[in-house]
Amino acid sequence: LQIFSQEYINLLLSMYFFVLGILALSHTISPMMNRFFPANFPNKQYQLLFTQGSGESKEEIVNYEFDTKDLVCLALSSVVGVWYLLRKHWIANNLFGLAFSLNGVELLHLNNVSTGCILLGGLFIYDVFWVFGTNVMVTVAKSFEAPIKLVFPQDLLEKGLEADNFAMLGLGDIVIPGHWALPFPYSLKKNTHTYFYTSFVAYIFGLGLTIFIMHIFKHAQPALLYLVPACIGFPLLVALAKGEVTEMFSYESSAEILPHTPRLTHFPTVSGSPASLADSMQQKLSCPRRRRQQSPSAM
């Protein structure tokens, strides 16, 4: 922002998130849209194949299978993308933001509580410093026209869909606590959801407290300042009450517990429709084969 014009930065970001948002939204709505297609829908299969080399040294770089239903989802997502590109409407922004958040929570997860505490503790300090210690976080959030945040119109009742006065919530404040809740799908392998629901309630409490403090002091607040103590404190209090603190910190979730949220410890070549992406990745991880080593920087 200090070196380049804000107009050019926003133009670059708009094109980048236009493409990325369409793909993310298409992947997100694909499982839901499959329920609305009639049984006699003419669904054809397609394959996008990109290889490197020839003969015995030929190697698959991209081998992506999709069908007509996926193309319909892609077309619907493209309509939202064009709407966002032309109007920058807050609804289109939020659709893309929610898609990014859901994909982020789906693709990566924390497999134990200790790792989650370290991550949340570090980001707690990070968020507090960049909001209260400098004006960088607020400046970026207000200056960048990109779906890196959810916006909530404060003048919705006055201006309707043309509202232009917004409160903002960064996507990191959704994704990071979302990762924290995932080690508790079945509470300590006891086939209950106690800790997951506790984390869910803790997030609602922490976010509500953030909004309350923001309105009291009329100043932007780092949401993780309130979300981190709530998301760690609530499950810890439940564990203390149940006498499961040691068990809680020694527990590790596995692929069997979380079949649809694989750990990206490898970077496999994935084939399949968007709806079966997670299953395909899990099958690749459970049945590894020799493949070209890829750099972690690909993330």
Domain segments of the chain as ranges: 1-47+60-86, 108-253
CB atoms inside a 10 Å sphere around CB 219: 11
Quote the pLDDT of residue 191: 67
Decide if 182 contacts 155 (C-beta within 8 A): no
Q: Please give the structure tokens belonging to residue 90.
A: 């807050």
Decide if 77 contacts 20 (C-beta within 8 A): no
Catalytic residues: 127, 173
Quote the pLDDT of residue 254: 58
Decide if 211 contacts 142 (C-beta within 8 A): no
Residue 294 and residue 187: Cα distance in Å, rounded? 35
CA end-to-end span of the chain, whole Å? 25
Decide if 178 contacts 101 (C-beta within 8 A): yes
By CB neighbour count within 10 A (0-12 exposed, 13-18 middle, 19+ buried), where does 114 fall?
middle
Q: Please give the structure tokens belonging to residue 191.
A: 């086939």
CB atoms inside a 10 Å sphere around CB 195: 27
By CB neighbour count within 10 A (0-12 exposed, 13-18 middle, 19+ buried), where does 204 fall?
exposed
Residue 227 and residue 202: Cα distance in Å, rounded? 8
Q: Please give the structure tokens belonging to residue 179.
A: 């990762």
Task: For tokens 């917004």, name the residue.
Answer: 166
Per-residue pLDDT of the chain (299 residues), as tens digits, is: 778 888 888 889 889 999 999 999 999 999 888 888 888 888 899 999 999 988 888 888 888 888 999 999 999 999 999 999 998 899 999 999 999 999 988 887 777 788 888 989 999 999 999 989 888 888 887 778 889 899 999 888 888 888 888 888 999 999 988 877 765 655 566 667 788 888 889 999 999 999 999 889 888 899 999 999 999 999 899 989 988 888 888 877 654 444 444 443 333 444 444 444 445 444 544 444 443 343 333 32
pTM of the model: 0.75
Residue 204 and residue 177: Cα distance in Å, rounded? 11
